[in-house]
Amino acid sequence: MVLYNEEDGLVFRTSEHVPEVLKQILLERGWNEYDETQDAASWNLWWKTQRFRKSEHEEVAPWQRLNHFPRTDAITRKDSLVRNLRRMRCVHGVHNFSFHPPAYILPNEYTKFVSDYGKEAQKQGKKNLYWICKPVDLSRGRGIFVFHDLKSLTYDCSVIVQRYITNPLLISGYKFDLRIYVCVPSFQPLTIYMYQEGIVRFGTDKFDLNQLSNIFSHLTNTSINKYGPSYSTDKER
């Protein structure tokens, strides 16, 4: 086996579908692109758009890095995130983990959801109850919908249901979210670098609880709102 030779410079390896801009940045910074004819251990960074196999993690040498940590779906899958938030609340107390709304993982927790739904309806009145349903492992807002009546809850895959925030912070009447980018080079010790700039994503129709089916009013995903009829119209200052 040929070990990494530092004199050859840093070498990056990529999989299919990796953005060309990533390759350009690495090349501009003096990195060399991995050639499949080279020794399998001669690369320093392997960048994939999909997850790595367990065996690939186990075979990494000390001078090599992968762009994915194993088991990160513990926070990237919505159902796993709900379970871990519950665990953290038990460990660190409700007062430290009161920032997320009640959530139910369906179909396993359907009975509990219906029970709590009935209690909340009696306590607050059915008119004040709003819920949001999200597939656990989809992205870009796919399959998400807001509902008011339990009869409107239909799903054909594993989902989570959460209390919908009916008084969100708005800008000129529009929902928005903040996307902040971080780099985590290590989990132990936990090391996080936060990029100083981020982006704001907006709904393209004004927030309106009377139009629950209007995804352009209630979702801020760019991949959805770019198809909205109001996407190109000028908005209030």
Convert the pLDDT of each residue in 105-153 to its tens digit. Answer: 999 999 999 999 999 888 877 677 899 999 999 999 999 999 998 999 9
Question: For 128, which DSSP code?
Answer: G
- Residue 235 forms part of a structural domain: no
Look at residue 5 in the predicted model and tell me its pLDDT: 55
C-alpha to C-alpha distances, 1 to 38, 42, 53, nearest whole angstrom: 12, 10, 22
- Residue 96 forms part of a structural domain: yes
pLDDT-based confidence at residue 8 (cuts at 50, 70, 90): low
Instruction: Compute, in degrees rounded to 10, the torsion defined by CA atoms 102, 105, 111, 114.
Output: 40
> For the segment 17-75, what is each residue's pLDDT rounded down to a tens digit?
899 999 999 999 999 999 877 777 889 999 999 889 999 999 999 999 999 999 888 98
Look at residue 38 in the predicted model and tell me its pLDDT: 78
Task: Please count the structural domains in the chain.
Answer: 3
Residues 84 and 53 in one domain: no
Look at residue 124 in the predicted model and tell me its pLDDT: 78
- Residue 2 forms part of a structural domain: no
Look at residue 1 in the predicted model and tell me its pLDDT: 46
The residue range of the domain holding 150 is 71-165
Look at residue 3 in the predicted model and tell me its pLDDT: 52
Instruction: Tell whether pTM > 0.85.
Output: no
Residues 75 and 161 in one domain: yes
Residues 77 and 114 in one domain: yes
Residues 18 and 61 in one domain: yes
